[in-house]
Amino acid sequence: MSDRILYVFTLTARKRRKPNPRYDGVLRTHRFYAEYYFLLSGEDPSKLVLSESEKPLIAFPAKYDAVLYSFAKEVGGEEICRRTVHLPSSKSGYVKRVIGFRNDVDFKRHLLFALTASTFKKQERLNTLQYIVANLNPIFVNILANIAIDRYREFSGYSARPYYILRVGMALKVLYWLDREGA
């Protein structure tokens, strides 16, 4: 196992087309996106993520930011840096954390968890999802994560691209019956 960081995860706020009245603060005018980056040898993870010119390996709309950060630490991620980002359009800000993963399996477990958690409407089943994803066979995790990354590349110019990526998370949710009301 390598001691250098191979993958980086962060949440970035992107402006909504129109404000959402159901939220206050940052979420009223912005939506969080999970972004994953691959690092080449010798690259500084914090500079890579904080530069606006770098394109992520995969990015999609994400929910439950606190749960995503805690699961990252649970599967072996470590916080590299933390920065407060001020959004001029909403006169508010948020804390942007940069989490690093040292191996492929931890990165793909977190990616799969984030994809599936982003399809949940309520937080009630996130503990069950954490347990399932943490104990999934690494080969199965690799297959599902590669499908999501391939779909991201395949639908690069398509406006409904996040929907097709999140379908991988929906498939895992249906497979383990996490979408049932009575379960």
| Low-confidence residues of the chain: pLDDT under 70 | 1-2, 90, 178-183
Amino acid 175: pLDDT:
83
Amino acid 115: pLDDT:
94
Amino acid 172: pLDDT:
86
Assigned token pair, 36: 């994953």
Amino acid 113: pLDDT:
95
Amino acid 125: pLDDT:
86
Amino acid 145: pLDDT:
93
Phi then psi for residue 84, to 5 deg, are -90, 125
Amino acid 179: pLDDT:
62
Amino acid 183: pLDDT:
47
Domain map (residue ranges) of the chain:
7-175
Amino acid 10: pLDDT:
93
Amino acid 22: pLDDT:
87
Specify the long-range contacts of residues 80-86, CB closer than 8 Å, at least 24 apart: 80/5, 80/8, 80/45, 80/46, 81/45, 81/46, 83/50, 85/13
